Structure 1
């Protein structure tokens, strides 16, 4: 059951994350609307849907903090809780002029709370209170919060600048772990018949090594830019007997994510650099491995409701290449990332690499669209089409030219 506690409008009074707003030229026109609070499940988790409304004449980029301090009142008893950003809400969202963007947070009801009417409040953001129903008793805390406890509600510290992290006090001393864990490369499963690697699957995550979670444009210290990431790409021969994986590429890396800097209206610069290892875990003739030191600046620009990002990538090979001594001939030392799309709509992403000396290279392209925009609901999946042409779709086949077309589903794009 889902109850609407009225529609609560919270005037943010925030400056947009662009140079225009940072320069103080124009006040933000964004209002935050808490539109629905779902009835909590047995673990006490309840989905809170937010809408960011832009009454201005220009699109705005807004950070969505990973955590927000709040208060929950049940039967006259008030508890400090935390709203946590939930997928698929990104760290920053683009709000089109005269339109809105949805965001989702999760409310965790404290354990041993009995069924009844509840009231949610966000001190420091608004004096209004949102009513919703708790349909059953909560007997245990959700696994993600079992060892943490809930901290005090933290009011917004500066009403003129959006905060990337509003509630750090609710995290237990030491390594917070889950708040510092986030998506990195796309996560998907795609299929295209007729090859010995007709299915392709990928999982990926990154972890901020030091400090509380922070968006690239709202850092408190340089150490918050240090990240560890892990990506695993699997090529599955579904047509073969016993359906074995043809190859699995393991890709851990350590990198520094540079702060995002606004340089003009809707234009920003960022990037990253680090050390990446790639190997396929095989032995003998099928063994492949390499290490690269890379740097990749990225420039982004708003084009109405769309956003264009472009990032050249340069790398050097480090250590032994005995498993694949001629891989430079096929991969080269340069590549290009390019992406255009909407936060909540169509998106096209390409990654290329080339060797200008040998004329060899490859292009990997994705096109994706949210399923929710097609059929409604809250499935949190994307339809994805994927194309590859060139050398080395995977490490095992680094010196083989191939073309692949696949379609499937993604949960991160």
Structure 2
């Protein structure tokens, strides 16, 4: 492929691969899709007449063609931006299958300049040119699902929230415990939150799901699942002194186990949690009180405040690439009911160089309300497993 005198047009060679021994031909026009940044733009590959348009069975057919770049690329000339482009054939294109020979998967078009003479620029539809010589039948286009970030302009606003893990502790009445969690920044550029950023950028949606898997029972059912969506305002930690940082969040959380009848549990809370962090050599120590207030209907569990209270404490010490200990607790000072959850994690690759992206994970819980179903029941659990977020 090479540039033409017209900076908005490039020349490409299209190859038609035969299938089942049937002669093939490259048509005059091919519908295609150009992905420009995060946008998908329809395009047409136009081919010049060629004697080699149709060939004998088992041999590929080739034609020299041209592709006009969309305005999304040429409009960047004034700014001198570099736009990343990928090309695929439209999903409606039928067999035989086509490809554009190339050495690269992307074309970087720097406007207004084009590639220097003699330097090969490339757009890839499916494969290297050598595949055309082998007669390999290729897919007519790259499926949109092949790369999840395509067409998802806000994917970078999604990030980890609470720990994600799977842990189990064999023993009497023990259950596997699995948790998934994420948060989503609703406004602004990803990570542009805090001082100097627009106020709305701190608004987040989060979702946490905690599952209790009764592996010892017949059919191994999930005995209880807690669903915890929330919306909160985040103020990231800001350094206020030598090694001291302050941050926090204010939010509204709904908790439900999705059951009905006597097993139904639900609660809504408004909470505030400031957090202070101190650097101590290679370690970071963080701690913060948590105050939460019940709002709305508590008819499913009218005495939940008696067991869970309205106060809690978060504490953590650890290294970014080493051991980390995290504890969260709840307490009701008037009733004397309380609970504490501790989690210890360590990168698995620090023990054995496997390249496995997991943390060894240990978890201990004692007190009331490990889950909503058992909010008024005291249990002690010890579990071990793996985590991907801690």
For normalisation by structure 2, the TM-score amounts to 0.64
Match of 2:265 in 1: 288
Q: Which one of 147, 152, 165 corresponds to residue 151 of structure 2?
A: 147
Q: Partners in 1 of 2:208 and 2:196 — Cα distance?
A: 25
- 1:130-145 matched pairs, under 5 angstroms: 137=127, 140=142, 142-145=146-149
Match of 1:318 in 2: 295
User: SS in structure 2 opposite 1:375?
Assistant: coil
> 2:359 aligns to what?
382
Q: Report the counterpart of residue 240 of structure 2 in structure 1.
A: 263
Q: Deviations over 1:301-339 (max 9, x none)?
A: 111111011010001100111111111111000000001
Question: 3-state DSSP class of the match of 2:317?
Answer: strand
Report the alpha carbon displacement of residue 180 of structure 1 after superposing the two structures with TM: 0.7
Aligned counterpart, 1:402: 379
Which residue pairs with 1:345 in the alignment? 322
1:146-185 matches, cutoff 5 A:
146-147=150-151, 176-185=153-162
2:275 counterpart residue number = 298
Q: Which has the higher contact order (CA 8 A, sep 6+)?
A: 1
- CA distance in 2 between partners of 1:372 and 1:261 (Å): 31
Q: TM-score, normalised by structure 1?
A: 0.61
SS in 1 for 2:170: coil
Gaps of 5+ in 2: 1-80, 89-99, 111-125, 129-140
Which consecutive unaligned segments of at least 5 residues does structure 1 have? 1-77, 82-108, 124-135, 149-175
**Are 2:266 and 2:300, in contact at CA under 8 Å, matched by a contact in 1?**
yes
Indicate conservation of the 8 Å contact 1:364/1:387, yes or no: yes
Q: Counterpart in 2 of 1:64?
A: none
Matched with 2:42 is none
TM-superposition CA deviations, 1:10-69 (whole Å, max 9, x none): xxxxxxxxxxxxxxxxxxxxxxxxxxxxxxxxxxxxxxxxxxxxxxxxxxxxxxxxxxxx
Counterpart of 2:284 in structure 1 is: 307
> In the TM superposition, what whole-angstrom CA distance separates every residue of 1:268-289 from its partner, at most 9, and x where no partner exists?
1000011000010111111100
How big is the alpha-carbon RMSD for the aligned residues of Structure 1 and Structure 2?
A: 2.7
Count of residues paired in the alignment: 271
The 1:260/1:216 distance shift into structure 2, 3 A limit, reads: farther
Q: Measure how far apart 1:145 and its partner are.
A: 3.3
